[in-house]
Amino acid sequence: MAYIIRRIILLIVTMALVSLITFAVFQVMPGDPIRIMLGPDADEVQIETLTKKLGLDQPLHIQYFDWVGGLLTGDLGQSIRFSKPVSELVIDRLPVTISLTIMTLTLVVLVAIPLGIFVAKRKNKLSDVVFSSVTQLGMAIPSFWLGMLLILYLGMNFSFFSVSGYVPWSTSIVGALGALLLPAMTIAIPQIAVKFRYVRNAILEQLQLDYVRTVRSKGITEKFVMYKHVLRNSMIPILTIFGLITAEVVAGTIIVEQVFALPGIGQLLITSISYRDFPLVQGIVIYITFVVVFINFLVDILYSILDPRIRLS
């Protein structure tokens, strides 16, 4: 209980800090949201009317405290750029980003772990060396470029893959898969290329440990040794890494959503920053902070599920 309270306090402090930093950045960033939105063709009269109407004539710190005030009542405010409530915009886009994140993580887990095991079993053999080289390559690939490649080779040749836009799961599961698979692969492939190495090393490290010898001495076959004991134990360090990549994946979605025209949080964030949409930026930043802290929390809980030493201490 105390642990959960501490977590919640940490979450609140982090969110407050992040929002303050965002505020500070906006303080020094030039650019008037109304003008950016309307462009040079706007009628001055109209700009004046709108600025007043949206309260943007107020100094930024007043806007900030208004926003904080709203936040305390659960109101994230109104987006300037889209003339819609921030919460509505964020919630509309959540399914996309969350689906993409979960799909990416699933891909990473489903590929990196078996691949890591595969390579660990063949330590220092040819396949191990080959995959290590692939790692180097994987780390060097920029994700937008990889996205383009995937679009060119998969998107263009298989109508199953969609190269642009999003189809909600409720409309068509196949459509949603088609829309998300390429972007998920785009984020996942470099992650897999790097992370399977960690899995390999975690497993190799476990294989060195005394308990493995004990298990073997009981006459347990190598398959069981690997999948029941070693893998389960390796999950603890692996989980740490996967907790970390979640943040990287969320960051990855920002670029990939641009490339694939996916209407997710990342795309919204970029738009909101370039349009100086202060309430929207704050809303998204709060959301992302929440997600990252929440995932860390989840990882901690998973730790305790996996590791009785944590659970029972």
Partner 1 sequence: MKKNKRWFMFISLMLVCVLLISACSGEDGATPSTDAPGEDVKEVRDEIKVRINSDPDFLDPHLATASISFQMILNMFEGLLSPNTDGSLKPAIAESFELSDDGLTYTFNIRDNVTFHNGEPVTVEDIQYTFERLMGTNSGEPLSSNFDKVASMEAPDADTFVITLTEPNTNFLYSLTALEAAIVPASNDDQHNDNPIGTGPFKFVSYSPGVDLVLEKNEDYWNAELPHLNKVTFAFQSDDQSALMALQAGEYDLTSVPAHRIPEVENDFKLEYQQNNSSLIITFNEENKPFDDVKVRQAVNFALSKSDIIDSVYSGYATELGSNMSPAMGKFYLEGLQDTYVNDIEKAKELLAEAGYPDGFKTKLTVSSHNVMYTNVAQVAAENLKQIGIDVEIDVVEWGIWLDRVYRGRDYEMTAIDLTGRPSAYDILNDYISTNDAENFFRFNNAEFDQVMADVLLEPDVEKQVALYQRAQEILAEEAAAVYIADYQVVWAMDSALEGFNMYPFFFLDMSELRFTE
Partner 2 sequence: MQSPQVNKEPSTKALEDQLLEVNGLKTNFYIGKGKVVQAVDDVSFSIRKGETVALVGESGSGKSITSLSIIRLIPSPPGKIVEGSIRLEGKELLTLSEDEMCKVRGNDIGMIFQEPMTSLDPVFTIGNQIAESLMKHKKLKKSAAYKEAIELLKIVGFARAEEVIKEYPHQLSGGMRQRVMIAIAMSCNPKLLIADEPTTALDVTVQAQILNLMVEMKDKFQSSILLITHDMGVVAEVADRVLVMYGGQIVEEAPVRDLFIDTMHPYTTALLKSIPNIDVDLKRLDSILGTAPPAHDFPRGCRFAARCKHVMEKCLEENPTLVEIKPNHKVRCHLYEHQGGLYSE
Residue 61 interface partner, choices partner 2, partner 1, none, CB cut-off 5-8 Å depending on type:
none
Q: Which of 148, 184, 144 is nearest to 270 (CA)?
A: 144
Nearest distance in Å: CB 155, partner 1: 6
Nearest distance in Å: CB 133, partner 1: 29
What is the rounded CA–CA span in Å between residue 54 and residue 229? 61
Nearest distance in Å: CB 7, partner 2: 24
Sites of contact with partner 2 (CB under 8 A) = 124, 209-211, 213-222, 229, 232-233, 236, 306-309, 312
What is the rounded CA–CA span in Å between residue 258 and residue 271? 10
What is the rounded CA–CA span in Å between residue 104 and residue 122? 26
Nearest distance in Å: CB 120, partner 2: 14
What is the rounded CA–CA span in Å between residue 158 and residue 181? 12
- Report CA-CA distances (Å) from 240 to 135, 164, 247, 298, 306: 20, 33, 12, 11, 12
Residue 175 amino acid letter? G
Q: Which is nearer to partner 1, 201 or 258 (CB)?
A: 258
Categorise residue 267: left if φ over 0, alpha if ψ from -120 to 50, beta otherwise: alpha
Q: Which is nearer to partner 1, 189 or 256 (CB)?
A: 256
Residue 162 interface partner, choices partner 2, partner 1, none, CB cut-off 5-8 Å depending on type:
partner 1
Residue 263 interface partner, choices partner 1, partner 2, none, CB cut-off 5-8 Å depending on type:
partner 1
Q: Which is nearer to partner 1, 105 or 194 (CB)?
A: 105
Q: Which is nearer to partner 2, 29 or 310 (CB)?
A: 310
